[in-house]
Structure 1
Amino acid sequence: MIHVAADQNLYKIKELISSNVHLHLYDPSKGIPDLTGTDALLVRTVTHLNAETLPHIPSCLKFVGTGSSGTDHLDNEYLESEGIELSSANGCNARSVAEYVMTALLLWREKFQPGTKFGKVGVIGVGKAGSAVTDLLSDFDIEYVTYDPPREKRDTDFTSATMEEVLSCDILTFHVPLTRKGDYPTYHWLDNDKLKDRNYKLIINASRGGVVDEQALLKAHKQGTIENYVLDVWEGEPDFKIKVARQAFIATPHIAGYSEQAKINATKMICDDMADHFDLSRSTPELKNISKAEDLAHIQYDLTKLITRLHPIMGYDAALRDLIGRPDKVFLFRNLRNEWPYRFEYSYLKIRKELLDEFPELRKLGITSSI
């Protein structure tokens, strides 16, 4: 039997992990646990693993899994040099992130330019999340271009837009990892130079804090060359910048990928990888993605009221803004991520047919009829 240390906030970890393990749950707010005698470590993005945080790796530790799509909190080269196999939940939350982006786009259009077209959207990063975004944009007949030179190099079937083509769009949405090295670093990808002499209706960053230079963003917004922006991720997260949050159209605490379905996918993916690594039987839990019927009162709705009833994006926005000026905002930011119930993705929601008929956008989001 192997010994596994796992972040206590990994969703349904007890149900999804192999039964052939001795499981120790740890509180990430108290740091990395004592790994003596530990064969596998399962973490989330709040735990950074590198030569400074983990200078002495016990010889028994052979597997590290992160319940997240991104791995910028892990020093992959360092960990692999110590003989550790790494696993991530890449793609687990792609649909959830795409729904966050489309929700933000719909709320923005309803507030600032109702009844008009969105304009052209530049999707920067076309992995699983970016591809899920383009699927939804297609469903809504929104014009877009895709920019991903690294993918073009490894995928002969994919052609990236040019830098000029993507920067000429009306809206930019980011779906890239945070990297500082290599041929295509993404740190401060959107900076003063790229914003110079440009005008954007909306910037959305639901990838990683630091991909967008927040000072450049704030400057452009103040000058009026960026009309609005939506941020789910922050430089220095969880210690987000108050001025940047205040000026955002929507500001949320890194929850774009937080759905019931995404969280189950994430935990199961790394647990299955760990089971395969140690030649254990995979867990076969009785967890089902059950559709949820929303009991919407028979009142007069508009699209904004319906969307904010079905998706908690504006609830998170209000909760994050409530942290502004609080001395314990870093602690409370983490709590927002850990304590709010996960939403159901749109395709698992059912509402009254007459609302779907009145608001065709809801069908395009994947919502179905409860009748």
Structure 2
Amino acid sequence: MHKIEELVPPHVHLSLYNPTDGLPDLKQADALLIRTVTHLNPETVPNLPDKLKFIGTGSSGTDHIDNEYFESHGITLADANGCNARAVAEYVMTALLLWKEDRQPAKPFGKVGVIGVGKAGSAVVNLLQNFGIECVQYDPPREKRDPDFTSASMKEVLNCEILTFHVPLNKKGEHPTFHWLNEQKLEGRHFKLIINAARGGVIDELALMKFYTKGFVADYVLDVWEAEPDFNTKVANHAFIATPHIAGYSEQSKINATKIICDELAAFFDLEPAIPKYKNVSRTIDFAHIKYDLSKVLNRLHPIKEYDAALRDLFERPDKKVLFRNLRNEWPYRFEYEYLRIRKELTDKFPELRKLGVHPI
């Protein structure tokens, strides 16, 4: 967890472990902090020590944790919901801009359907609206709990030309999301672009590829995979952009995640939270004085295409699962657009950059 040593409450004894080696001995632990790569359930933790009272995951989603199992044993669970909302929104908008520049530079985007309008989905909506893009917001569960929100109908959202997904992965309950986009919903429709930066399994990948090869889905962008990290190389090969679950990865989102969980930990055990020693600094990106188009500028500012190229290099590798994890864990985190500074000449030439939050110098 990024900068955990700086953000853990004072007087907490912190013991670090490598999740690829499995879980550490929890007999003396009061709390366990994890990320999405660690799956917690009755099989992985069959014997729960009495002392363990708190589990925190530095992620927005919790589908890697059997919540009922741990809560039934009196363990409090905490997550970092919303920590990476802005990073995910920037990933989606960057993918949209690169796709438009490549596929339809002289045409408008068309109507975008946002499926799941929680913190990440709302951040996506804000960016789309900042660009003047018409969007349809679909989130029936939110409509039930939020009197100020009205969800579009399923028919309205499926009539959009572009879909982007921002829902948790639920296989049960009133609103299951597993294979939400399936053959039935794809049948008889045409989509310009489908983006999944939520969870693998929200889209039926084989159905998506089938309708892509038939010409009913023109393009798709996938950051998450059904059998992750053992991603389907055939599905990835056809993608306009394919990345290794890094949409929410940024310096700022990772700090947010750790701080949220450490603050939850402090509150639970009635401890003083840590006073952060770091500062949110900006980064200046140097551009040579040569001709740039928007795609080239975006590719300098956001590593989405670098991740795409790196993932494609794994297609024939027998150890692709390990290398997939390495791509997620070992690459340096990018800076979100708000913390980037570039020449004013470029922000003047490409107003899209200022709409993304890039500052001129």
TM range, smaller chain: over 0.9
CA distance in 1, matches of 2:296, 2:276: 36
Match of 1:342 in 2: 333
Q: Which runs of 5+ in 1 are unaligned?
A: 1-9
CA distance in 2, matches of 1:260, 1:115: 34
Q: CA deviation at 1:237?
A: 0.2
Q: Does 1:66 align with 2:57?
A: yes
CA distance in 1, matches of 2:262, 2:287: 37
Q: CA deviation at 1:287?
A: 1.1
5 Å-filtered alignment, 1:192-341, equals 192-341=183-332
Deviation readout 1:286-323 (Å, 9 max, x if unpaired)? 11111111111111000000000100000000000001
Deviation readout 1:245-300 (Å, 9 max, x if unpaired)? 10000000000000000000000100110011111110102111111111111110
Deviation readout 1:60-107 (Å, 9 max, x if unpaired)? 000000000000001111111111111100000000000000000000
Q: 2:16 aligns to what SS in structure 1?
A: strand
Report the residue type matching 1:120 in the other structure: K
CA distance in 1, matches of 2:158, 2:196: 15
Report the residue type matching 1:17 in the other structure: V
Answer yes or no: is the 8 Å Cα contact 1:20–1:281 preserved in 2.
no
Q: 1:101 aligns to what SS in structure 2?
A: helix
Report the residue type matching 2:110 in the other structure: G
CA distance in 1, matches of 2:63, 2:158: 25
Q: Does 1:125 align with 2:125?
A: no
Q: CA deviation at 1:115?
A: 2.2
Match of 2:350 in 1: 359
CA distance in 2, matches of 1:64, 1:237: 23
Answer yes or no: is the 8 Å Cα contact 1:170–1:199 preserved in 2.
yes
TM-score, normalised relative to structure 1: 0.97
Match of 1:86 in 2: 77
Q: 1:262 aligns to what SS in structure 2?
A: helix
Report the residue type matching 1:108 in the other structure: W
Q: CA deviation at 1:52?
A: 1.2
Match of 1:149 in 2: 140
Match of 1:158 in 2: 149
CA distance in 2, matches of 1:363, 1:275: 38
Q: 1:245 aligns to what SS in structure 2?
A: helix
CA distance in 1, matches of 2:222, 2:96: 12
Q: Which runs of 5+ in 2 are unaligned?
A: none
CA distance in 2, matches of 1:195, 1:31: 40
Report the residue type matching 1:199 in the other structure: H
**Matched residues, number:** 361
Match of 2:99 in 1: 108
Q: 2:15 aligns to what SS in structure 1?
A: strand
CA distance in 1, matches of 2:309, 2:280: 28
Match of 2:165 in 1: 174
